[in-house]
Amino acid sequence: MSASRDRRIILEEARRALEAQLAIGDRTPELLEEACRILEHSVPWYDWVGIYLVEGDELVLAAWSGPAATEHVRIPIGQGICGAAAREGQTIIVPDVREDPRYLQCFLSTRSEIVVPIRRGGTVIGEIDIDSDRLAAFDEDDRVLLEWLAERLAERLPQAGTAAV
Ligand code: SME
């Protein structure tokens, strides 16, 4: 079996686990925690998974799963790969973080990163941020899975300015 077929099978299993979790109808904080946990546990090249939500002109860490906490719990929009993806409203894949001057370091072991905005209408309301210890860990299949998840999460996140999640 080819490596890319193996990758697709793993990502398809992750999608099924996420679909099952989405169907349970958890409150938003639990859903975000579970989504991070499922991704980190089911995809071997996802070493740290976080979900940030936009608050004013900052990204605030709402949920994460991984071996260690990050010091970057608030990131100004425009700073780091996270802030760039939020400002541009587009997924960013960085194959080698050491080559990207925008990169804000969290973990010494990280080699590549993907950041996927969560959008509602034309507005970025959050993002999924994944670090990998492998070089060039992320490809179009990761993008498709994570953009699908971002759409599902956007449907479940509260409207800005409404009561707490
Ligand atoms: N590396 C990110 C910062 C967040 S940590 O990866 C958790 C960035 O460059 O924005």
pLDDT at 139: 97
pLDDT at 3 over 90: no
State the Cα–Cα distance between residues 133 and 126, nearest whole angstrom.
Answer: 23
| CA–CA gap between residue 23 and residue 20 (Å, rounded) | 5
Residue where the block lists tokens 């587009």: 90
Domain ranges of the chain: 3-156
Return the ligand 1 atom nearest residue 79 CA.
Answer: 10
| pLDDT at res. 160 | 52
User: Going by DSSP bridges, is the β-strand pair 123-132/112-120 parallel, antiparallel, or unpaired?
Assistant: antiparallel
- Please name the residue that has the structure tokens 């679909």: 19
Q: Which residues line ligand 1 (CB under 6 A)?
A: 50, 70, 72, 75, 80-82, 103-104, 106, 113, 129, 131
pLDDT score of 89 = 97
pTM: 0.94
Pocket test for ligand 1, best of 105, 111, 124, 128 (most atoms within 8 A of CB): 105
Report the distance separating Cα 97 and Cα 83, nearest Å. Answer: 15
Instruction: Tell me the per-residue pLDDT of 4-15, one tens digit each, with 9 for 90 and over.
Output: 889 999 999 999
Assign domain 3-156 to its CATH superfamily: GAF domain (3.30.450.40)
